[in-house]
Structure 1
Amino acid sequence: MIIRPEQMAALAGAAESNFQNRLGEHLRQFFPEQYGNLDEAGLQEVVRQSIERARAYGITSERDICKYADLMSAFGRDFDTNTATAWASSILNDQSLGDPGAKVNRLAQQALGQARSLGSEAQQLEARVRTAGDAAAVGWQAVTKRLSEALKHAA
């Protein structure tokens, strides 16, 4: 059996489309506040941006791209360039971590630590100032839990 280049391209396109759909479902499941009410076109744009940005860092496996999308969902679409999350840029641009999977794993570990820290800080704020701290504490605790679960179930 001979597979022609155009057949290979069609198969690759179908595989990519399938992955994009699974990634969109994953994001809706684990980040419902961000994506639950987003229409299909909006969700597909988020998926497309996640894949594009991950691949720009050499991240190509579906599982690692999914983890990258989880981090974007938890910390913002620009988490890789935002000064508030400079740790992410540092890891992504660390040449000593040649393997993209190692970078993603380091990112995930650091992100969970950051999310836990933010949750702890919000709880402390809540204890001091009942009004503003209340929503922030619950928000970061929920984000930490969702991020942890999402990373475990990455596509």
Structure 2
Amino acid sequence: MLKFVKQQMSQLAEAGARDFQATMVRRLSEQLPSIAGMNGAELLGKVKAGIERAAAHQITSEKDVSRFLELAAVLGDQFDVDPKLTWAAELLAKVNSKNATEVMDRLCEEAAAQDSGDGEKSPAQTKATPAADEEFSNRAQVGDPIGRCPRAIARRLYMFSS
């Protein structure tokens, strides 16, 4: 049986978080022209800060955090506390661990309905490509080294390991 010690699990978690951060830096710089001019270190700092802000709102799945970061890039890094965007703060106040995806869906819908005025489309206004949708999971948490095995697969693995 394969066993991991806590140090190995934390190293795997750190590697997973770094991979997610690098992917988000790449995606944001490709998708948003206003971000393309930033240097990598500055954008990485914004991504890390955005991940922490999302976690403070109990938004932790990769897919939801990626949408939170995209909204932060378009609406402003502090969009969740911006007095001009009270609708965002009101929606984020309703987030809990069970409804984070629904709240993020609603947040993206509201952002799409808002007229940004700067000519740049929000992530909700541009139809995401299927590949981008499949890039992140709602089940995997940012920095989780190992996702849960679906029950049917876990049962089969248990049968073969006995």
Query: CA separation of 1:150/1:79 partners in 2, compared to 1, >3 Å: closer, same or farther?
Result: farther
Gapped regions of structure 1 (runs ≥ 5): 120-135
The CA RMSD measured in Å over matched residues stands at: 2.2
SS where residue 126 of structure 2 aligns?
Answer: helix
Question: What's the CA shift for 1:102?
Answer: 1.2
- What aligned pairs does 1:1-155 form with structure 2 within 5 A after superposition? 1-33=2-34, 35-94=35-94, 98-114=98-114, 118=115, 136=117, 139-140=118-119, 142-144=120-122, 147-149=124-126, 153=132, 155=136
Q: Indicate conservation of the 8 Å contact 2:58/2:96, yes or no.
A: no
**What is the TM-score of this pair, normalised by structure 2?**
0.73
| Greater shift in the superposed pair: 41-50 or 89-98 | 89-98
Q: Which has the higher contact order (CA 8 A, sep 6+)?
A: 2
Q: Indicate conservation of the 8 Å contact 1:54/1:60, yes or no.
A: yes
Name the amino acid aligned to 1:11.
Answer: L
SS where residue 68 of structure 1 aligns?
Answer: helix
Question: What's the CA shift for 1:31?
Answer: 1.0
Query: CA separation of 1:150/1:46 partners in 2, compared to 1, >3 Å: closer, same or farther?
Result: farther
The whole-number CA distance in structure 1 between the counterparts of 2:49 and 2:90 is: 20
Q: Which has the larger share of helix? A: 1
Query: CA separation of 1:52/1:97 partners in 2, compared to 1, >3 Å: closer, same or farther?
Result: closer
SS where residue 91 of structure 2 aligns?
Answer: helix
**What is the TM-score of this pair, normalised by structure 1?**
0.76
Question: What's the CA shift for 1:92?
Answer: 0.4
The whole-number CA distance in structure 2 between the counterparts of 1:78 and 1:59 is: 15
Aligned residue-pair number: 131
